[in-house]
Amino acid sequence: MHAIRLISILFLCLTAGVCGGEVPGRHLFVLSGQSNMTQTLGHSFYECVGAVLGKDRVLIARTGHPGQPIKNWYRDWQPPEGMEDPKPDKNGHLYDVLIAAVERVRKDETPASATFIWMQGEADASRGWASVYEKSFLGLSDQLRADLGIEEIHFVVGRINDYWLREPDGEAMREILAKLGEDHANGAWIDTDDLNRGVNPWGGFSFEDGHYPPEGYVVIGQRFAREACRLIAPDIELDPAIFEERFIDSYRQIKTHDGIGKKVSGSAPPGATDLSVLSDGKFGTTDHQDGAWVGFPPSDQPIELVLDLGAEMEVDSMAVNLLLSSAAKSEFPEQLVYSTSADGQEFRVNGSRYNTIRYYNTKELAKMRTDGIEPVSVLLLTRQWDREGPVRARKVKVEIKTGGQWVFIDEIVVNPRK
């Protein structure tokens, strides 16, 4: 899916004549941070800055390390007053990895500009180390500038999302990251609060999460790229099409999709024979009896629903919209699996990590059951992508293990568009 969309972005920039803007030389981008500094984010970032500056003018080094505090990048890190450094011998060891990555891409070249893209802070918020974070980040920036022999380095930081407010220094860390971007002429920051609902890359749905769905990482890459380009080339008028965001986490954002009007076959619940309501483009209210919803009772046998697209097409994403409601006794299914078929016979799961979906937070689910679930619809959207490239399919299939609860769905969605 990313390749399809990013190719579209590149085409738009070429037709608009903004590629290879009047910014001489080559530009170095150093991307680093914790687990949210993903390959998907890096690829999206590269496509966007390449579209503005020219891909032949872009050098990118990226490293991401789960669960690591800033001390592991900053050699001279000192703990907050009254606290001890638990592992002083680890200070700066990930920075050495980062510098090695930078040297592999730049070699002996002196770039026209250098920009530090930073997505980190969760680990420090969890440890209560926010009070020394600003000093540590600025020290890390100085460290990077000195080691690269570059007089000025721009930086863009990603503010950790609102999930981390539950941590001891979550609120303080968010304030510091925004302040860093606002207080320095060579800096900027991006917001990510609106991107952390949905199915994460490991197939777990969350109403809010410390990580992001795959499409969230694409948008984060776009936002980083936009701010970086503004810092490097403030006089270039950026084409909005390059940075157009396509993140969807609710049926309310869907105006149309490619499954509308297509034939649905498969498991029908008792008393129902017509499944066309699952591809009519109409979403239900929070009343499970309004006619838009199809309810499947608890069963030991998985539900199988197949949507025939009528012809082979590229399928970049799939979803079902389901209802959570104590009144309907409807909850998350035990498991939901998306698969596609090019020939209409043999189906394949394209990247089982994000196409085999569960609700992982069992404690939260138990609390929801105890407190009672106010009716709410949930869009379980995920991408279709594998190492061979974009997925082409004639038919798509949704397999649902209901478990011990009812499952109500109102639409099977293919390639949603705002």
Checking if the pLDDT of 306 tops 90, the result is: yes
pLDDT recorded at residue 365: 81
Q: Judge if 238 and 257 occupy the same domain.
A: no
Q: What are phi and psi of 302, to 5 degrees?
A: -70, 145
Q: Judge if 172 and 257 occupy the same domain.
A: no
pLDDT recorded at residue 344: 87
Of 197, 221, 243, which marks where a domain is finished? 243
Mean pLDDT across the chain, nearest whole number?
Answer: 92
Domain count, the chain: 2
Q: Judge if 226 and 290 occupy the same domain.
A: no
Q: Judge if 302 and 330 occupy the same domain.
A: yes
- Tell which residue, 368, 414, 374, 367, has the closest CA to residue 392: 414
**Against a cut of 0.75, is the pTM above it?**
yes
* Residue with token string 């990895």: 97
Of 210, 243, 276, which marks where a domain is finished? 243
CATH of the domain at 364: 2.60.120.260
Q: Judge if 67 and 22 occupy the same domain.
A: yes
CATH of the domain at 7: 3.40.50.1110
Question: What's the one-letter identity of residue 399?
Answer: E
Assigned token pair, 243: 């940075």
pLDDT recorded at residue 55: 95
pLDDT recorded at residue 23: 62
* Residue with token string 């984060």: 220
Q: Judge if 331 and 239 occupy the same domain.
A: no
Of 225, 243, 261, which marks where a domain is finished? 243
Q: Judge if 106 and 202 occupy the same domain.
A: yes
Domain that holds residue 287: 251-414
Q: Judge if 234 and 340 occupy the same domain.
A: no
Q: Judge if 149 and 208 occupy the same domain.
A: yes
Q: Judge if 255 and 236 occupy the same domain.
A: no
Tell me the pLDDT tens digit for each residue of 138-184: 999 999 999 999 989 999 999 999 999 999 999 999 999 999 999 99
Above pLDDT 90, what percent of the chain?
A: 82
Q: Judge if 296 and 407 occupy the same domain.
A: yes
Instruction: Write b or e for each residue in 294-314: b if 16 or more Cβ atoms lie within 10 A of its Cβ, otherwise e.
Output: bbbeebeeebebbbbbeeeee
Determine if residue 326 is left, alpha or beta; phi over 0 gives left, psi from -120 to 50 gives alpha, anything else beta: alpha
Checking if the pLDDT of 319 tops 50, the result is: yes
Checking if the pLDDT of 324 tops 80, the result is: yes
Q: What CA–CA distance (Å, rounded) separates 347 from 44?
A: 29
- Tell which residue, 36, 116, 46, has the closest CA to residue 74: 116
Above pLDDT 70, what percent of the chain?
A: 94
Q: Judge if 189 and 49 occupy the same domain.
A: yes
| pLDDT band with cut points at 50, 70 and 90 for residue 272 | confident
The answer to whether the CB of 159 falls within 8 A of the CB of 122 is no
Checking if the pLDDT of 4 tops 70, the result is: no
Bridge partners of 294, per DSSP, are: 409
- Tell which residue, 63, 68, 58, 75, has the closest CA to residue 31: 63
Q: What CA–CA distance (Å, rounded) separates 312 from 306?
A: 14
